[in-house]
């Protein structure tokens, strides 16, 4: 039995990176360090093996192993959601059952992608997948996999076990509508870090995203500010966050995140090809220098890794 349900999944939830070593192998030791680092920083939960976790660059066995290691290291301290999305139902069901056996608290999945599956096929995918375990399902609405419209989302909520959505589409007004026309109890996790403040102020229950691995303190403060209704402070924190996000997205974003975590004592390793990396000391020094300049140009304060470099 999972320890947590979706009511416990809230606040700032990193879409966890998957550390690979210099030879692109999954690095279990680094994974455990990253988990402890993020929990110590006060995150509300962890979302494994999603886009940020480079999930589609891993074999099913590797994905299952990452989930096992994370659950083992978390040891019940915060809720763990495993993303088990794959292009076919059979693969996803297998990953879901293995994630349940590992002890995750909830599952998540992108819709089946690449081929233009019909709305009925997408519905059947979630129905089969959610029926394959006792765990709650957080649908992952992401434009990269073909965004789901409101009517399709509403239909998916009729599936027993579908309890929430990670909403990574620019149509954030739908969050208000989901809460209004579907249910206040249906959980919404805002997924675009650049718009975290908007998502939260529209009633999202939490935020799940890549940059919460790297600058959790900025978004934990932003979440608190929105909770208190201090929108001026929330906006200023979002501006700080976005300066760092847009700078990082000029490179392979996940590779930047991994190095910035390393500078804070949690070496998240490297990305798998075809993503690229900052492998040499010279490349890392250049990245540090560029961040140093960003900090000065934008007069950024209160960001842990920028204060360390």
* Interface positions with ligand MN9 (CB under 6 A): 15, 51-52, 144, 168, 191-194, 209-210, 245
Q: Is 166 a catalytic residue?
A: yes
CB-based contacts of 249, cutoff 8 Å, min separation 6: none
**Residue closer to ligand MN9 (CB basis): 74 or 244:** 244
**Residue closer to ligand MN9 (CB basis): 101 or 144:** 144
**Residue closer to ligand MN9 (CB basis): 55 or 73:** 55
Total number of residues shown for the chain: 309
DSSP codes, the chain: --S--GGG--EEEEB----B-TTS-B-HHHHHHHHHHHHHTT-S-EEESSTTTTGGGS-HHHHHHHHHHHHHHHTTSS-EEEE---SSHHHHHHHHHHHHHHT-SEEEEPPP-SS---HHHHHHHHHHHHHTSSS-EEEEEEGGG-PPPHHHHHHHTTSTTEEEEEEESS-THHHHHIIIII-TTSEEEE--GGGHHHHHHTT-SEEEEGGGGT-HHHHHHHHHHHHHT-HHHHHHHHHHHHHHHHHHTTS-HHHHHHHHHHHTT----BPPTTS----SHHHHHHHHHHHHHHHHHHT--S-HHHHH-
Q: How far is the CB of 166 from ligand MN9 (least distance, A)?
A: 7
Nearest to ligand MN9 by Cβ — which residue? Answer: 209
Q: How far is the CB of 196 from ligand MN9 (least distance, A)?
A: 8
Q: Is 212 a catalytic residue?
A: no
**Residue closer to ligand MN9 (CB basis): 136 or 209:** 209
Identified catalytic residue from 126, 140, 189, 212: 140
Identified catalytic residue from 166, 187, 258, 295: 166
**Residue closer to ligand MN9 (CB basis): 50 or 79:** 50
Q: How far is the CB of 286 from ligand MN9 (least distance, A)?
A: 22
Q: How far is the CB of 5 from ligand MN9 (least distance, A)?
A: 22
Asked if 305 and 263 count as a contact pair (C-beta separation under 8 A), the reply is: yes
Q: Which residues are catalytic, by number?
A: 140, 166
């Amino acid at each position: 039995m999972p320890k947590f349900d979706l009511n416990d999944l809230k606040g700032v939830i990193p879409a966890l990176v998957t550390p690979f070593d210099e030879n692109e192998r999954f690095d279990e030791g680094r994974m455990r360090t990253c988990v402890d680092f993020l929990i110590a920083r006060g995150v509300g939960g962890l979302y494994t093996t999603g886009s940020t976790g480079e999930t589609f660059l891993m074999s099913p066995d590797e994905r299952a192993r990452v989930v096992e290691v994370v659950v083992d290291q978390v040891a019940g301290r915060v809720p763990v959601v495993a993303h088990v999305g794959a292009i076919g139902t059979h693969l996803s069901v297998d990953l879901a059952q293995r994630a349940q056996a590992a002890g995750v608290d909830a599952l998540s999945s992108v819709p089946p992608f690449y081929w233009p599956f019909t709305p009925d096929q997408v519905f059947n995918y979630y129905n089969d997948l959610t029926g394959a375990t006792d765990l709650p399902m957080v649908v992952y609405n992401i434009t990269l996999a073909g965004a789901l419209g409101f009517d399709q989302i509403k239909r998916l909520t009729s599936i027993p076990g579908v309890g929430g959505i990670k909403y990574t589409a620019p149509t954030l007004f739908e969050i208000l509508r989901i809460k209004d026309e579907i249910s206040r109890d249906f959980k919404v996790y805002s997924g675009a870090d650049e718009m975290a403040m908007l998502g939260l102020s529209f009633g999202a229950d939490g935020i799940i995203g890549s940059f919460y691995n790297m600058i959790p303190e900025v978004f934990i403060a932003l979440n608190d500010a929105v909770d208190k209704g201090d929108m001026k402070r929330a906006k200023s924190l979002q501006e700080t966050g976005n300066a760092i996000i847009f700078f990082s997205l000029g490179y392979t974003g996940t590779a930047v995140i991994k190095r910035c975590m390393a500078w804070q004592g949690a070496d998240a390793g490297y990305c798998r090809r075809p993503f690229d990396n900052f492998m040499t000391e010279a490349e890392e020094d250049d990245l540090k220098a560029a961040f140093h300049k960003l900090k000065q140009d934008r007069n950024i304060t209160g960001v842990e890794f920028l204060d360390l470099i």
